[in-house]
Amino acid sequence: MAMMSRRSFLAGSAAALGTTTLAACGNPVTLPESMEAVRPNAGGPSRGGALYFGLSTDPANLDPHVSTGSASDYLRQLAYNGLVQYDGSGEIIADLASEFGWSDRLTYKVKLRPGVRFHDGSTLTAEDVVFSFRRMMDKETAATSGPLLDQVDSVEAVDATTVAFRFEQPDVAFPFALAAPTSNVVSRKWIESGANTKTQMMGTGPFRFVERIPGVSTTFVRFDDYFEPELPYLNGIVFQPMGDDYARVTALRTATVDMIDYVPATHVGVITRNPRLRFASDKTFGFGFVGFVTTQRPFDDVRVRKAIALSINRPSVLDTALLGNGRPMDGALMPETFAPYASRLDGSMPYDPEQAKFLLKQAGQEGLTLPVVTTSSYSVIARPAQAMLPGLRAAGMNVNLTQQEWLTFRASVAGKTFPVHSWGTAPKFGDPASLSDFIGSSGAFAENLDFRDDKIDDLLAQGRRTTDPNLRNEIYLEAEKRALELVPMTYTIRREQGEAHYTHVRGYEHPPKGAWTATALRRTWMEKTA
Amino acid sequence: MRRFLVRRFGQAIVQLLLVGSIVFFLARLIPGDPARAALGDAATEEQVALTRAAMHLDEPFLGQFLGFWARLFQGDLGTSMISGRAVMQDLPSRIGNSLELVLLALAVSLVVGIVLGRIAATRADKPADHALVAGSIFGISLPVFVVGTLLLLVFAVLFPILPPRRFTSPWEDPVAHLQILILPVVTLAAASCAVITRMTRAAMLETLNADYVRTARAKGLAEKRVIRRHALRTAMLPVVSMTTVELTTLIGSTVLVETIFGWPGMSSLLMNAVGQRDYPVIQAVVLAAATIVILVNLVGDLAVRVLDPRAEDN
Amino acid sequence: MATAPESVAQALPDTPSRANGGRKPFFKRMLANRRTSVAGAFLLLIVVVAVLAPLIAPHDYRDIVGKPLTSGGTLGIDDFGRDVLSRLIIGLRTSLGVAVSAVLVAGVIGVALGLVAGYVGRWVSTIIMRGIDVLLSFPPIVLAIAVVAILGPALVNVVLVIGVLYIPRFTRIVYSQVLSIRSMEYVEASKIMGTRPADILAKTILPNVSAPIIVQLSLSVSFAIQMEAGLSFLGLGAQPPLPSLGTMVGAGRDFLEVQPTLLIYPSVLIILVVLALNVFGDGMRDLLDPRHRGKNS
C-alpha cells in the first residue's frame, strides 16, 4: 500500500503512475513497467518486483576483489559468486561449489557445480576459479581478501571442475577467506579481454549489472540463467546513493525506497516504532575502539594506556552516543557468537576512575593531556569519541579531541600524527582468527599502533593451525587476555548495526553471526500486491 | 566596448589558468590520498603503497602538473582514479543538473527579492516593511541545512505533499521533474532571496534620497516614474554586483542542498571526489565551476557598464 | 527638508532621528530611535553574555548532568546528557567570536582593497579585482573545506578562512560604489584642492560608501555565523565538546522528532542575534550617512 500511495500521488500524470524511470539527463535507463509487477505464489515467495535500496555510499569501484566497505559488497555479491557463502544462520554453505573441504591436512578441494553460466553465456570452469584466486593473491591487485589468502601455497585445477588449494601448514581460517564477500570468481576470458573491472561487472551472480550513474543509481536486473533454481525472485534491484543519514531515513519513511542500509543510531527509535518497517540488525559485529601509538611517550607506558581504558565509562558512552543501541564492551574483542571464550573475559575493563588516577600517578602522568583524533565523517565513530570525554575528565585527564574528515583521519592514523585515535570498525570475518588484524604484528590496525608482541603473534599463528575447537578456544583466550594486559587498544562499545525495510520486503536476513556478507539480498522477495 | 571585451576575455583565461594551478596543488595538499580511498579500511600499508604507485602518485609533482595541463589543452579532462570513468562521461549532465537548480533559485530570488525590496522601500517603516524585513532576516539567518531539513520534515514526512522522489530527468517526465525540483529550489533560494530583498531595499532608500532623485521629484515627476526611472535603475547597481556574488554563494550552497536532497549535481560529484581525493575529478569540477563563475562575472561587469555609464573601466 | 514632498519623508526609514534634529550628540540621536536602541541593548546583552559566558553558565558545558534527551535543567538535556542552557551560552560565545573576528578580517581587508582598486584604477585595480575574481570563482565551501583540511580544524583557521572568503563581498561593493562617485564634483573638487589621496579616500570617499558597507557588515556577521555552522556541520568548525550555535543546530537535526528544542533553541538564538544586528545596522546607517546628516544640518 505504501508503494501505491507513493506512486499514485501523481495520479494526474499518467506517466508517473507505476512507471519507474531512473535516469540522468540524456542518460536514460528505464526498468520496464512490467518489472514492478509481482506475481503471487501461494505458499512460496512471490516472483517479480523491483527493489529500491537507499545505500549509504555510492560505491565507485566495482572491482570484484577490491572492497571499499560493506555497502559496496551488496553490489559485488549480486553480480558475482564465491565458491562458498554464509547462509541465513551464518554457517558456511556451498555457492559455486558443489562439494568443498579439506581433503587432507594441507589440501583444500572444491568441486564446482556443473553448468554454471556467466552473464555473457560462457560456462564456468576450474580455470576461471584458479585465475580468480591468483588475481586476488597478486599483490598488484591489492585485493581485500589478499591478506586472508596469505597461507595459500598454490592454487590449481585438478580437472575441469575441481580446484585444489595447497598449504604448507594447516589454515583453519581458510574457509572464511573463501566465504568473504570479496573472494569472487570472475571469467578469465572476460578479464583478459581487457574489460574495465572498475566500471563493469560480469559474473555468475543472480543479477546482471545494467548501469551505474554516479550519484544517481546503480541498476541490476534478474539473470535468467542463474544456476540456483527459482532464484532470484526479484526482477531488478536499484541502488540509490544517499550519503546523508537524515536523507536516507527520510527516503525510507516516505517510501521513496523500500530498504536502506546503515540505520543511524539516532534514528533507530523512529524506525522501530513504525509498524510497517522492520529493522534487521546485530549487536555483535561493529565495534568502537581507542588505539594508542605504543611507541610514543607517555603511551609507551602500559599503565597510562590502562588508565585511559579504565576511565572510559562504557555504559554511559553507549547511552549517550548510541542512545543505548548496542552493548558496552568491557572484555574480549571477539563477540561470544563465534568466540565461545568471550564471556570469560567479561568485566575485565570496568569503569574505575580512581584506579585510573592511581595508575597515572604511578606513571608520573597526573593531569595528563590527551591528544585524540577521530573522524567527523561517520557518526558511529564521532559520537562515541565525544561521549567518552566526561569519564576521562573524571580521572583528571584533559582531552584535546580533533575531528578530521575520513581520509585525513586515515592519513593521521597511518602517519601516527596523534598518539591516540578513536575509531570504529568490524572484524573481517566471523572467527577469532580475525584478531590478527588488530593485535597481530602485521595486522592493518596494529600497524597504526606500532604494536608487536611475540607471544600474541605465536598464539595467533598457533590458533590458525589448530583444528581442535577446544584447543583453539584456549589459544585465542590467551591471546585476548594478553591484549587486555598490554592494551594496545581498548574496546568501547559494540554498536547495533543493520538495515531497515518495509515489511512487504521478505526473505532478507541481516548476517546473524557477525560474518559480514550481503548474499541475503539474492534471496529477497516482495509480497507487494499492488 | 570591443576592447573591453577582448581584455576581459584575456583576463578570464589568465584567471582560469590560476584557478587550475591553485586547485591542482590545493587538492594534493589535503592529507590523505586516493590510494587509501580506493581500498577498504583494513588495507595494509603495503597494499596502499602498491596502489599509490599504480595511480602514478609517486611521480614528481612537476611532471604530474605539466601532464595535467598538457592533457587539458588536448581537451582531456582525465579519468577518475577511483571509478575508472572518464570525467567527461559524468561532468556535463552533473553541471546541467546543478545549473538548473542554481539558475532557477537565482531567478526565483531575483524576481521575489527585487519586488519585495521595492515594496519594502516604498513603504519604509510601515507594517509591510517591518514584516518584509523580519521575514528576510528569518530567511538569512536559518542555515541552509536547517531549512532543507524542516522542509523535508514538513512536506515529505508530516504532510507528504512533496515526497522526495527518485531523480527523474525533465525529458522523460517533466511533471515529476518539477515535483522534485520544488523543495531543493526553495531551500536554495530562501537565503539569497532574503539578501536581494535587503539589498534592493537599502539601495533604493539610498537613491530615493539622493539629490538627483529629489530634483526629479522637485521637477514634479510622478512618484511612480521617479521610482522606476531613477531610483530603481540606480539601485540596481549594487543589486547587479550582489547578484554575481549571490550566484557564487548559490553554487557553494548547492553542496549542502544536493546532499540533503540527493540531487545529482556537480557539487555532489565534487564532494565525493574531495572525500576520495580523486584529483582529476576535483580539478575538472572546480575548473568547470570557475568557468561558470568567471562568465557570470563577465556578464555582470557588462551589465554594470550598461546600467551606469559613469562606471568606466579605468 | 521643508521643501521635500511628503512622500520622501515616508520613503526614508527611521525618521525620528531626523525629526529630533541632527545637531544632537550621536548617542542621543541613537537613543532617540527606539528600534535601534532596543537592538543595541540586546546586542550589548549578547556581548556581555558571550564575554562572561563561563561565569554565567549554570553547569560546565561538558558535564553529564542528567538523562539524555530529557527536560531536566532550564532548557533541557541534550543527547550527550549535557545542560542545553549552558551549552547555548558557551555556543553563543563561540559563534559570535568566530563570526565577528572573521567579518572584521574580511571588512578591513576587503574595504581597503576596494577603495584602492576603485580610486587608483589602472593595473592596480586589474590585479586586485582579478584576484578577487579568482577567489570568487572557487566554490566557497569547497575552498573552506580544502583550506581547513590542510591547516587543521582549529577555530583560528575557521576565522581566517571565513574572513578570506568574505573579502570579495566588501571589495566588490566598495569598488562599484567608488567607481560611481569617483568622478562626482565633490571628489573632483578635493582633488583639485590638492588633498592627499589617502585623505580623499578616508574623508571623502569612505563616508560616502559607508552605507552599503554597514549593511554588508551586519549581513556578513550573519553569513559568517552560518558559514561557521556549515563548517561545523561538516566537522571542521568548533571541535567537540566545545559547542557553537552551528554545531548545536547541526546536532539537533538528528533529534527533530524526539526533542525538537535541541534544534529550535540555537536556531532562535541565531535569528535573534541576526535580527538585532540588522536592525542596529540599519539604524547606524541612517545615523552615519553623511547625506542624511547633511540634510538635517
What pLDDT is stored for residue C13 in this prediction?
37
Q: What is the CATH number of the domain that holds B134?
A: 1.10.3720.10
Is residue A319 less than 8 Å (CB to CB) from chain C? Answer: yes
The beta-carbon neighbor of A266 closest among C62, C234, C255 is C255
Helix, strand, coil percentages for chain C (3-state, nearest 5): 75, 0, 25
Quick check: helix, strand or coil at residue A292?
strand
Which of A159-168, C35-44, C147-156 comes out lowest in average pLDDT?
C147-156
Helix (H, G, I), strand (E, B) or coil at A399: strand
A41-75 b/e with 16+ CB inside 10 Å = b?
A: eeeebbbbbbbbbbbbbbbbbbbbbbbbbbbbbbb
Provide the phi-psi class of C58: left if phi over 0, else alpha when psi is between -120 and 50, else beta: alpha
Interface probe with B: pick from C12, C15, C17, C133, most Cβ of B within 10 Å? C133
Do A241 and A350 reside in the same domain of the chain?
no
Assess if residue B250 is contained within a domain.
yes
Percentage of chain C modeled with pLDDT above 90: 20
What's the length of chain B?
Answer: 314
Cell numbers 551488496: residue: A74
Q: Which of C62, C64, C234, C242 to mutate to probe the A interface, most A CBs <10 Å? A: C64
Q: Which residue of B has its CA nearest to C210?
A: B206
Q: Please write down the HEC assignment for all residues of B51-111.
A: HHHHCCCCCCHHHHHHHHHHHHHCCCCCECCCCCCEHHHHHHHHHHHHHHHHHHHHHHHHH
| A363 and A448 fall within a common domain | yes
Measured between CB atoms, which of C81, C145, C236 is closest to A320? C81
- Which residues in chain B have Cβ-Cβ distances shorter than 8 Å to A249? none
DSSP A263: -
Q: What is the CATH number of the domain that holds A215?
A: 3.40.190.10
Report the range out of A351-355, B32-36, B40-44, C235-239 with the highest average pLDDT. Answer: A351-355
Instruction: For residue A425, list chain B residues with Cβ-Cβ distance below 8 A.
Output: 41-42
Touching subunits for chain B (3+ Cβ pairs under 8 A):
A, C
For A245, the closest chain C residue by CA position comes to C254
The residue range of the domain holding A134 is 84-189
Mean pLDDT taken over chain C? 78
pLDDT at residue C26 is higher than 60? yes
SS3 A81: coil
- Which residue type occupies A234? L
Q: What band does B53 get if pLDDT is binned at 50, 70 and 90?
A: confident
φ/ψ of A328, rounded to 5, equals -70, 155
**Residue B71 identity:** R
CA A58 to chain centre: 15
Q: pLDDT tens, C42-96?
A: 989 999 999 998 898 899 998 888 888 888 878 999 989 999 999 999 999 999 9
**End-to-end CA separation in angstroms for chain C:** 10
CA–CA separation, B181 and A259 (whole Å): 23
Return the pLDDT at C100: 92
Pair A491, A501 in one domain: no
> CB atoms < 10 A from the CB of B208, how many?
26
Contact A139 B179 (CB under 8 A): no
pTM of the model: 0.82
Contact C253 A316 (CB under 8 A): no
Q: How many domains does chain B have?
A: 1
* Residue with cell string 596494529: A446
Domain contains A415: yes
Domain boundary (A136, A165, A189) is at A189
**pLDDT, position A439:** 94
Residues in C closer than 8 angstroms to A267, CB to CB, are 254
Q: Tell me the sheet residues that pair with A369.
A: A398
Q: Which residues partner with A289 through β-bridges?
A: A423, A491
Among B37, B84, B170, whose Cβ lies nearest the Cβ of A196? B84
Query: Residues B56, B61, B63, B64: is their CA dihedral positive or negative?
Result: positive
Residues A326 and A346 in one domain: yes
Are A462 and A502 part of one and the same domain? no
Q: Are A217 and A29 in contact (CB under 8 A)?
A: yes
Quickly state the pLDDT bin for B135 (edges 50, 70, 90): confident
A181 lies in the same domain as A256: no
Q: pLDDT value at position A154? A: 93
Task: Find the CB nearest B206 among C140, C142, C211.
Answer: C211
Q: Does A224 reside within a domain? A: yes
| Residue listed under C-alpha cell 600499508 | B45
Count of alpha carbons within 13 angstroms of residue A38, beta-carbon side: 22
What was the pLDDT predicted at A440?
92
CA A207/CA A226 separation, integer angstroms? 8
Higher pLDDT, A476 or B240: A476
* B243 in any annotated domain: yes
The angle formed by the CA atoms of residues C89, C92 and C93, to the nearest 5 degrees, is: 90
Contact C236 A316 (CB under 8 A): no
Query: How distant is the Cα of B220 from the closest Cα of chain A, in angstroms?
Result: 55
Name the nearest CA neighbour of C94 among C216, C214, C249, C254.
C249
Q: What distance in Å separates residue B13's CA from the closest CA in chain C? A: 11
pLDDT at residue A279, as a whole number: 94
Chain A residues 418-457 within an 8 A CB cutoff of chain B = 425, 428, 437, 442, 444-445, 447
User: Average pLDDT of B153-160?
Assistant: 80
Instruction: Kindly report, residue by residue over C245-267, the tens digit of the pLDDT.
Output: 888 888 888 888 888 899 889 98
Domain count, chain A: 3
Q: What is the pLDDT of residues C95-130, one digit of tens each?
A: 999 999 999 999 999 999 998 888 887 888 888 888
Would you give the DSSP letter of residue C77?
A: B
Phi/psi of residue A374, each to 5°? -145, 180
CB contact under 8 A, A390 and C62: yes
- C-alpha angle with apex A131: A130 to A132, nearest 5 degrees? 90
Asked whether residue B164 carries a pLDDT value surpassing 80, the answer given is no
Q: What CA–CA distance (Å, rounded) separates A517 from A520? A: 8
Does residue A513 sit in the same domain as residue A427?
no
pLDDT for C168 equals: 87
What percent of chain B stands above pLDDT 70?
Answer: 86
Q: Which helix (H) or strand (E) holds A2?
A: helix A2-8
If you count them, how many residues does chain C have?
297
A109 is a domain residue:
yes
CA–CA gap between residue B273 and residue C141 (Å, rounded): 14
Pair A74, A163 in one domain: no
List all residues of chain C from 102 to 131 with a beta carbon under 8 Å from chain B.
Answer: 121-122, 125-126, 130
- Check pLDDT > 50 for residue C20: no
Q: Are A356 and A483 in the same domain?
A: yes
B31 and A147 within 8 Å at the Cβ level: the answer is no
The DSSP element (H or E) to which B244 belongs, if any, is helix B233-261
Range 244-283 of A in CB contact (< 8 A) with B: 244, 246-247, 250-251, 253-256
Residue segments in chain A with a per-residue pLDDT below the cut of 50:
1-29, 529-530
**CATH code, domain with A478:** 3.10.105.10
CB within 8 Å of A235: residues ≥ 6 apart: A31, A35, A36, A48, A49, A50, A221, A222
Give, as one character, the DSSP assignment of residue A197: T
Classify residue A1: in a domain, yes or no: no
β-bridge pairing A20-24 and A27-31: antiparallel
Same domain? For A68 and A99 the reply is no
Does residue B83 lie in a domain region? no
Confidence of residue B31 (pLDDT cuts 50, 70, 90): confident
Q: Are A269 and A340 in a shared domain? A: no
Bridge partner list, A422: A290
pLDDT at A416: 94
- pLDDT score, position C289: 58
Fold of C32-296: MetI-like fold (1.10.3720)
On whether residue A14 sits in a domain, the answer given is yes
Reported ipTM:
0.79
Could you tell me the residue ranges of all domains in chain C?
A: 32-296
The three-point CA angle B247-B253-B254 to 5° equals 95
**A22 and B CB contact within 8 Å:** yes
Please give the pLDDT value at position C8: 29
- Classify residue C73 as left (phi > 0), alpha (psi -120 to 50) or beta: left
Q: Which chains touch A (3 or more CB pairs under 8 A)?
A: B, C
Judged by CB atoms closer than 8 Å, whether chains meet at C234 and A376 is answered as yes
Closest CB to A402: pick one of C64, C153, C257.
C153
Contact B14 C130 (CB under 8 A): yes
Same domain, A277 and A423: no
Residue to test with chain A: of C61, C248, C249, C254, most A Cβ within 10 A: C254
Residues of C in Cβ contact (< 8 Å) with A370:
none
Q: Do B163 and A256 touch (CB under 8 A)?
A: yes
**Residue C42, CA distances (Å) to A390, C35, C99 in order:** 34, 11, 17
pLDDT attached to residue A203: 93
Tell me the sheet residues that pair with B25: none
The x, y and z cell numbers of residue A311, run together, are: 576511565
